[in-house]
Structure 1
Amino acid sequence: MIRLGKACKNIRSIVHVSTAFSHATLSRRGTDIAEAFYDTPIAPKLLIEMSENIESNILHDMTPSILKDWPNTYTFTKAVAEEIVRTMGAHLPICVVRPGI
């Protein structure tokens, strides 16, 4: 999506749909989640490389230590996707929407 956006000469906007829970980590319970980007515990590129090169049973065993503060893989991967949007789409007209359930 980001690569396509960069190739468009007259792009007006890109809307990335995330979730209100992408940064609802255990340590942030009871706090406000700002309309901002947050750091992720692992670089997206590293996570992609791991998923492509490490056997699935080993990845399964590693998952709890990778997730750390996130309650599940869904919210974790949504946070990582936001990091990809932030870094790769830095000079594009991007809006991240975080709807609730």
Structure 2
Amino acid sequence: MKATIWHNPECGKSRATLAILEARPELDLTVVEYLKQPPTREKLTQLYRDAGIAPREGVRTFKTDAEERGLTTAEDDVVLDAMVAEPRLIERPLVETDKGVRLCRPPERVEEIL
């Protein structure tokens, strides 16, 4: 099974999720450091759709100005535009497999799609 993690190596939850994935040798794992290689707007739209969440539910509020900017209640287009412009606003880690997408907070949520 293929799996892709949008990863930030500075994030403990992201590192913990990556460790769960790496412990599964049957996975064909792709690691994308999204701050260096940000997803496109189209990819973000697809990820949130497949995760069953609105983009505003995937906004990182810790150590960002997302709440002050109203991104936690904003329309999808506004949130997606902000995330594309500033990838640090993307909450992590997002994991995609053939079984779906999850925002893995807590990291164990990744098991739902393995």
TM-score (normalizing by structure 2): 0.24
TM-score (normalizing by structure 1): 0.25
Higher relative contact order (CA 8 A, sep 6+): 1
Report which of the two structures shows the higher radius of gyration computed on alpha carbons: 1
